[in-house]
Amino acid sequence: MSTGDTSKIPNSLQEHWMPFTSNKDFKENPRLITGAKGVYLTNHKGKTMIDASSGLFCNPFGHGRKEITEAVAKQLEQLDYCQPFQQGFGGSFELATKISRHTPGNLNRIFYTICGSTAVETAIKIAIAYHRAKGNSQKFRFVGRERAYHGMNIGATSVGGMINNVKTFASVLMPGVLHMRHTHLPEHKFISGQPETGAELADDLERLCANFGGENIAACIVEPIAGSTGTLVPPKGYLNRLRKICDKHGILLIFDEVITGWGRTGSAFASQEFGVIPDMMTMAKATTNGVVPMGVVASKEEIYDAVMDASPKGAVELFHGYTYSGIPVSVAAALAVQSIIEKEDIFNRAKDMAPYFQKGLFTLKDIDVVDNIRGYGMMGGIDMKMNVKPGKAGFECFKACYEAGVNFKATGDCLIIAPQFICEEKHIDEIIDKLRTGITNYQKNQKN
């Protein structure tokens, strides 16, 4: 195997403790990305790979977008930073207005955070602040779901439901968090779109209300489609049923749209796609096309009003915020993304490409080591058959696909596929062809 251009490998790889990475494995055989343009990435060996997961679901509008680079550069020259507490600048207000045009219902109050995790933790705090403002301070519990990923700070880890993310940190997680079962049933085999069965799994929330008192539950948070655990699409009727149970018990429903937001399903948000309006929504990733960090919480107007009304004029109404909440550089990138969305009719573009992508994805069904495939819109998950221990098949297969020229993320034994919305049919074909080559090579290696 060629070692490529080793001048692109730093002298030492030891000091950087990499996140969510098998550091020992990586440092023996590094995979460094040196360039990105459109739907392609280049690695330090000079090899070009197609990006089949939009980075970590965050660059759907393509790499190296000039409009974004120029907007960011211009902003840095004009106003590089302005403190976000008791002060502001025009861009963040302009962006909030634009975001609120896309959010469903009256989720028109926009709070900026740094990333998806901080958006989730902020939504948790807003839920508590809202209930206190309404005189319901006893509502302290949160309900999450198994196989959920909401990020990695304490709040987001607590409501998340991926065991490896939780078990080391169990002693410091939030108290009072309950989990519903996930929505993936054994009969959900090779389904593109929403499964017909499983809506009754939403009744887990009703059961938690019966056992712990609905009057004690502040909010229920779900990803409308669980992304990081491999596109677990909600069964038909599931989200509506959650909505009804939340209404019955005065529980706020939070949709974590960090992955599903900004067109991934073919609608602006999964909320519109599935016709269910939550009380709050979180977003991040594609908000800036992933090039600079930004998270967002959109809240219903009643929530904002209740928190405002609970404080006298002149007081800070919500004791929460970040040094980097809605800073100029992130806002500039997000405003440039808004104009790309508008000019390129991005949501319809994703919607139009989705059937072609789904069709291609499911052609991989015949490969022996593929155990299951799920998909919705421009997202899909391919489960690999377990190989000796959980996670090995996913990681080995990811490496085989990387060698075959297609890059994505694997979680456990699931390959996470989320093409960019700017993909043309030929790019989808290339992704699927290279996935077939990579997965088949992995399969051959297992037999040898």
**Choice between 227 and 266, CB closer to ligand PLP:** 227
Closest distance of CB 120 from ligand PLP, Å? 6
Contacts of residue 50, defined as CB under 8 A and 6 or more positions apart, other chains included, come to: 39, 40, 41, 405, 406, 407, 427, 430, 431, 434
* CB contact at 8 A, 218 and 137: no
Of 104 and 155, the one with the shorter C-beta distance to ligand PLP is 155
* Residue whose token pair is 């679901």: 57
- Closer Cβ to ligand PLP, 416 or 435, answer by number: 416
Stretch that binds ligand PLP, among 19-27, 98-106, 251-259, 436-444 (CB under 6 A): 251-259
State which of positions 295-334 bind ligand PLP (CB under 6 A). Answer: none
Counted residue by residue, the chain has a size of 448
Question: Looking at 147-155, 181-189, 355-363, 414-422, which segment touches ligand PLP (CB under 6 A)?
Answer: 147-155
Contact call for residue 228 and ligand PLP (CB under 6 A)? yes
Residue 75 interacts with ligand PLP (CB under 6 A)? no
Of 180 and 439, nearer to ligand PLP (C-beta) is 180
Distance CA 63, CA 104 (A): 28
How far apart are alpha carbons 130 and 109 in whole angstroms? 13
Q: Looking at residues 90 to 119 of the shown chain, list those that interact with ligand PLP (rule: CB under 6 A).
A: 115-117
Closest residue to ligand PLP using C-beta atoms: 116
What is the spatial distance between Cα 266 and Cα 276, in angstroms, rounded to a whole number? Answer: 15
Instruction: Give Cα separations from 385 to 302, 393, 394, 408, 429 (angstroms).
Output: 47, 7, 9, 18, 24
Q: Which residue has the tokens 């955070």?
A: 113
Min dist CB 187 to ligand PLP, Å, is 25
Backbone angles phi, psi at 313, to 5 degrees: -60, 135
Span 40-59, contacts to ligand PLP by CB under 6 A: 56
Q: How far is the CB of 92 from ligand PLP (least distance, A)?
A: 19
Residue 259 binding ligand PLP, by CB under 6 A: yes
Q: Which residues contact 305 (CB under 8 A, 6 or more apart)?
A: none
Q: Does 416 bind ligand PLP (CB under 6 A)?
A: no
Among 89, 112, 149, 269, binds ligand PLP (CB under 6 A): 149
CA 402 distance to own-chain centroid: 22
Tell whether residue 162 is a contact of ligand PLP (CB under 6 A). Answer: no
Q: Which is nearer to ligand PLP, 169 or 190 (CB)?
A: 169
Site size for ligand PLP (CB under 6 A): 15
- Cβ-contact 233, 225 below 8 angstroms: yes
**Residue 417 interacts with ligand PLP (CB under 6 A): yes or no:** no
Q: How many CB atoms lie within 10 A of CB 66?
A: 8
Our CB check for ligand PLP shows the closer of 350 and 364 to be 350
- 3-class SS of residue 144: strand
Q: Which of 227, 326, 405, 419 binds ligand PLP (CB under 6 A)?
A: 227
| Interacting residue with ligand PLP among 91, 151, 155, 419 (CB under 6 A) | 151
In angstroms, give the least distance from the CB of 440 to ligand PLP: 29
**Which of 96, 258, 418, 432 is close enough to bind ligand PLP by CB under 6 A?**
258
- Give the shortest CB-328-to-ligand PLP separation in angstroms: 19
Cα angle 317, 322, 328; round to 5:
110
Yes or no: say if 294 and 122 are a contact pair by the CB < 8 Å rule: no
d(CA 81, CA 59): 24
CB of 239 to ligand PLP, least distance (A): 15
d(CA 24, CA 18): 10
Site for ligand PLP in 120-139 (CB under 6 A): 120
Single out the residue of 206, 256, 273, 279 in contact with ligand PLP (rule: CB under 6 A): 256
Query: Would you tell me how many other CB atoms lie within 10 Å of the CB of residue 230?
Result: 26
150 binds ligand PLP (CB under 6 A): yes
> What b/e string do you get for 287-306 counting C-beta neighbours within 10 Å, with b at 16 or more?
bbbbbbbbbbbbbbeebbeb
CB-nearer residue toward ligand PLP: 9 or 152: 152
39 in Cβ contact with 420 (< 8 Å): yes
- State the residues that interact with ligand PLP by CB under 6 A: 56, 115-117, 120, 149-151, 223, 227-228, 256, 258-259, 284
